[in-house]
Amino acid sequence: MRPLSAKERGGVMRERVEKLRRRMEEKGIEALLVTKPENRAYLSGFDGSAGVLLITAAGASWLVTDFRYVEQATLQAPHMEVVRHGPQFHATLKELAEKAGLQKIFFEKDHLTYGLYENLKENLGVELVPQEGLVEGLRMVKDAGELALIKKAAAIADQAFTNILPLLRPGVSEKEIAVEFEYQMRKLGAQGNAFETIVASGPRSSLPHGHPTERRLQEGDFVTLDFGAKVDGYCSDCTRTVAIGTVDDKMREIYDLVLRAQKEALAAVRPGKKGKEIDAVARDIIAAAGHAEHFGHGLGHGVGRAVHEGPRLYPLGEELLEPGMVVTIEPGVYLPGWGGVRIEDLVVVTTDGSEIITGLSKELMIL
């Protein structure tokens, strides 16, 4: 799929804003202050580090930023009016609120800091109302352009994993592997890594999010690698667990259990299913094998501009899967003091099931 032109990107962003306005009208929201970076980029295309959006149901779309980003914002968000704020950010926001005749401004309660909230409450002269999930609800279903970027990120991560396999041998440290992994993703065209690469070996593989350390790989280790690339703001996410040198019966048993749970859960993914229903498929298999207490995290989560976003696949997940959603399926079994196994694929929910984006084999690799 070819990259979108600036005009086409503007059209996509404009349609997203219009979808948001329709939701705002349904909920009686006259204006929304967007401060979460992923939401701001999703609606505007602007990926600078400073800026907010003020979007009104009546048709105004303002991107407020400082001197450093005015030119970039103008190029990336041609469908919005870019406003440069002065030394007092709240003063500029107050002018816009007065211009639009606003009485209330809704804000993203899970992101706005308390300090900024207090500042705006004192100075804006309008009622501030918390809301959550408005933009995130739009972001859960990906369009064709977003899917193409996620697939590209996944392909880069897959290739980087293949490239670092020769490094996985006794004597090499977890940190060395993580550094080389991230270098390979950059070299292959990634904007960066989607999150800090996880490399946990031996007994440390029982840590679901074990940070790389100076520990050196040893014969008979499990090594869990959790990694993702980022391309044009969109993330991938994958986990593979490999063995170094030799495996014993217990290692094979745990690996085969996790693999079976993962495959069964993948087969269950389809539109109309709740997140908790997919989670239960894998969780029940692991629990029946006596390891319920060793699988303590959710089965999966959405992936897009953030590596963790909606929908959530966990025991309380009520959200229904829809075509275009991108989710992880990542069961694991973690035995403190011994080690652990996690296997994770990235999948797109389709009209009749799912498509696995991850292209790597899941059979146990013994290196």
Joined together, the tokens standing for residue 167 give 């490094």
For helices 37-44 and 6-26, angle between their N-to-C axes, nearest 10 degrees: 120
Which among 80, 9, 23, 24 is positioned nearest to 56, based on CA atoms? Answer: 24
pTM of the model: 0.95
Going along the chain from its start, the domains and CATH numbers come out as 6-139 (3.40.350.10), 144-356 (3.90.230.10)
Q: How confident is the model at residue 4, as a pLDDT?
A: 63
pLDDT of 1 strictly over 60: no
pLDDT of 2 strictly over 60: no
Four-point Cα dihedral 127, 132, 134, 137, nearest 10? 180
Give the C-alpha separation, 333 to 287, whole Å. Answer: 10
What's the chain's average pLDDT? Answer: 96
- Would you say 104 and 127 are in contact if contact means Cβ atoms under 8 Å apart? yes
Q: At 11, is the pLDDT very low, low, confident or very high (cuts 50, 70, 90)?
A: confident
Query: Rounded mean pLDDT of 218-245?
Result: 98
228 Cβ contact partners less than 8 Å away, ≥ 6 residues apart = 153, 157, 193, 194, 195, 235, 236, 237, 238, 303, 307
Joined together, the tokens standing for residue 250 give 């217990």
Determine if residue 19 is left, alpha or beta; phi over 0 gives left, psi from -120 to 50 gives alpha, anything else beta. alpha
pLDDT of 312 strictly over 90: yes
Q: What are phi and psi of 311, to 5 degrees?
A: -85, 165
Q: At 353, is the pLDDT very low, low, confident or very high (cuts 50, 70, 90)?
A: very high
Which among 224, 159, 147, 150 is positioned nearest to 185, based on CA atoms? Answer: 159
